[in-house]
């Protein structure tokens, strides 16, 4: 009986030790859980702050983009305005020349007036960076010349511009309108020339 009691005491002791170990383990797990929960809350708070900052940055960028577009449109609008104001002067001068021609019927003076207006207009365009494409006598450049017709040439070179039908213009190295040109083609004079062309 004493042995039974001793065994029961041992069993109770083992049960108590097991319970203590379980309680200790549960407390440790609860502590770990609280630690993880706290870390998650901190990370969630940080994520929310980053997300808010990102949304603010996105809104600021969108406002900047819209403002830049408005400013570009404004600059473009005012740059055209300055050019148009200068063109008004050309219109005024043309009207004066036409009015004077109706009264006096003096062709020489009318021609001089129109020539002055033409030169003023070219100066305005040059000031804006617009220049005439030099064509006559030059070799064909498909970027600058639009060939309208061919005719027999007198030189030794092939495809040289021999006449300009409509002038072409460039602005800051960019072709605005290619020159319409006539091209001279080298004449084949004899069989020897034909053989050279075939080579």
**pLDDT tens profile 78-130:** 777 777 788 888 888 888 888 877 787 777 888 888 888 899 888 888 888 89
Residues 13-30 as b/e (b if ≥16 CB within 10 A, e otherwise) read eeeeeeeeeeeeeeeeee
Query: In this structure, are residues 155 and 184 in contact, taking their beta carbons and an 8 Å threshold?
Result: yes
Query: In this structure, are residues 146 and 178 in contact, taking their beta carbons and an 8 Å threshold?
Result: yes
- Classify residue 151 as left (phi > 0), alpha (psi -120 to 50) or beta: beta
pLDDT > 60? residue 198: no
Among 115-124, 127-136, 187-196, the minimum mean pLDDT is found in 187-196
Q: What pLDDT sits at residue 94?
A: 84
Mean pLDDT of 21-32: 79
Q: What pLDDT sits at residue 68?
A: 94
> Please, what sign has the CA dihedral across residues 113, 117, 123, 126?
negative
> Would you mind telling me the total number of residues written for the chain in this entry?
199
Q: What one-character-per-residue DSSP string does 8-31 give?
A: HHHHHHHHHHHHHHHHHHHHHHHH
Domain ranges in the chain with CATH number 3.90.20:
1-128
pLDDT digits (tens, 9 = 90+) for 138-181: 888 889 999 998 887 665 567 788 889 999 999 988 999 999 99
Q: At what angle do helices 2-104 and 107-127 cross, to 10 degrees?
A: 160
Domain 131-188 CATH assignment equals 3.40.50.10490: no
CA pair distance 25, 31, nearest whole angstrom: 10
Domain 1-128 CATH assignment equals 3.30.1710: no
pLDDT > 60? residue 196: no
pLDDT > 90? residue 60: yes
Mean confidence (pLDDT) of the chain:
82
β-partners of residue 180 are 146, 166
CA pair distance 124, 100, nearest whole angstrom: 24
Domain ranges in the chain with CATH number 2.30.22.10:
131-188
């Amino acid at each position: 009986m004493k042995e039974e009691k001793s065994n029961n005491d041992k069993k109770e002791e083992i049960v108590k030790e097991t319970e203590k170990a379980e309680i200790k383990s549960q407390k440790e797990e609860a502590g770990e859980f609280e630690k993880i929960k706290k870390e998650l809350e901190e990370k969630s708070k940080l994520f929310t702050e980053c997300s808010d900052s990102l949304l603010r940055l996105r809104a600021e960028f969108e406002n900047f983009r819209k403002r830049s577009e408005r400013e570009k449109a404004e600059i473009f609008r005012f740059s055209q305005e300055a050019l148009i104001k200068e063109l008004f002067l050309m219109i005024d001068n043309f009207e004066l020349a036409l009015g004077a021609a109706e009264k006096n019927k003096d062709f020489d003076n009318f021609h001089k007036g129109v020539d002055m207006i033409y030169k003023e207009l070219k100066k305005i365009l040059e000031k804006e960076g617009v220049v005439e494409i030099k064509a006559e006598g030059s070799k064909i450049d498909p970027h600058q010349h639009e060939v309208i017709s061919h005719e027999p040439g007198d030189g030794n070179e092939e495809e040289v511009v021999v006449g300009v039908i409509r002038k072409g213009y460039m602005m800051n190295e960019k072709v605005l309108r290619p020159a319409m040109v006539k091209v001279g083609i080298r004449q084949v004079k004899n069989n020897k020339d034909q053989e050279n062309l075939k080579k």
